[in-house]
Amino acid sequence: MDFLYKPWPWYVAGPLIGLTVPLLLLLGNKKLGISSTLRQICAACIPARLPLLTYDWKRESWNLVFVAGVLMGGALGGIVLANPNAVAISASTVDYLKSQGLNDPNGLMPSELFNWSSLATMKGFIVMIAGGFLVGFGTRYARGCTSGHGILGLSALQWPSLVATASFFLGGILFSHFILPYIFAL
């Protein structure tokens, strides 16, 4: 059972992620997509008569149940079956992050950056709050995220999803190389 606690290699995790696509389709003709749940929550709580948020969100409530499951899956994988060791990222990434003032990896996330008191610092606020805002704004603008475009859209050979996925990466690569160092320096 040791393999359950160890991190799963990409050639195990990747195919299993891909299998979510047919699983949802065969169970109920549902399309994999997570960013739509952010829209669902807005539509349920504060629709404000905005066209994008005025629709019968209850008809799509399956996806809220789905993400409740994703949260529970996170607990199963990250607590019950937690990897006792730090994430084994490459030595060059570790060196780089240390040069930017971060500690050695000690879990899935740098706890010195992702904690409640860090929210009150400029760095923590930008990383978590501004970052979260961009994720929510950008994915709705793109009408999909890494799951809806990157996995489902690409699997369905939809070229706009290829444009979207390439743009996700372009944005992330540019930001990581040219802007993130200034934020780490705060």
Partner 1 sequence: MKNLKYLFVGIFFGLVLTKGEAISWYRIQEMFRFEAFHMYGIFMTAVPVGALSLFLIRKLDLKTVGGDPIDMPVKPYHHGVIIGSLIFGFGWALTGACPGPLYAQIGSGFTVTVATLSAAIFGTWCYAYFQKYLPD
**Which positions from 16 through 45 interact with partner 1, judged by CB under 8 A?**
16-31, 34-35, 37-39, 41-42
How many residues of this chain bind partner 1 (CB under 8 A)?
Answer: 131
Query: In the bound complex, what is the minimum distance in angstroms from residue 182's beta carbon to partner 1?
Result: 12
Q: In Å, what is the CA distance from 147 to each residue of 37, 79, 106, 154?
A: 12, 24, 27, 9
- Tokens 């891909």 correspond to 18
What are the helix (H) ranges across the chain? 2-5, 10-28, 35-45, 62-75, 91-99, 122-124, 131-142, 154-155, 159-178, 180-184
The yes or no reply on residue 55 touching partner 1 (CB under 8 A) is: no
Which residue in 15, 122, 182, 185 binds partner 1 (CB under 8 A)?
15
Is residue 115 a contact point for partner 1 (CB under 8 A)? Answer: yes
Do the Cβ atoms of 27 and 147 come closer than 8 Å? no
Instruction: Spell out a b/e string for 146-184, using b for 16 or more CB atoms within 10 Å of the CB, else e.
Output: bbbbbbbbeeeeeeebeebbeebeeeeeeeeeeeeeeeb
* Tokens describing residue 175: 């930001």
The interface with partner 1 within residues 61-80 (CB under 8 A) comprises 61-63, 65-79
Q: Which is nearer to partner 1, 51 or 84 (CB)?
A: 51
From candidates 2, 103, 144, 181, binder to partner 1 by CB under 8 A: 144
* Other CB atoms within 10 Å distance of the CB of residue 61: 13
Does the footprint of partner 1 cover residue 182 (CB under 8 A)?
no
Q: How far is the CB of 42 from partner 1 (least distance, A)?
A: 5
User: Binder to partner 1 among 1, 2, 46, 59 (CB under 8 A)?
Assistant: 46
Nearest residue (CB) to partner 1, 1 versus 116: 116
Q: Does 186 participate in binding partner 1 (rule CB under 8 A)?
A: no
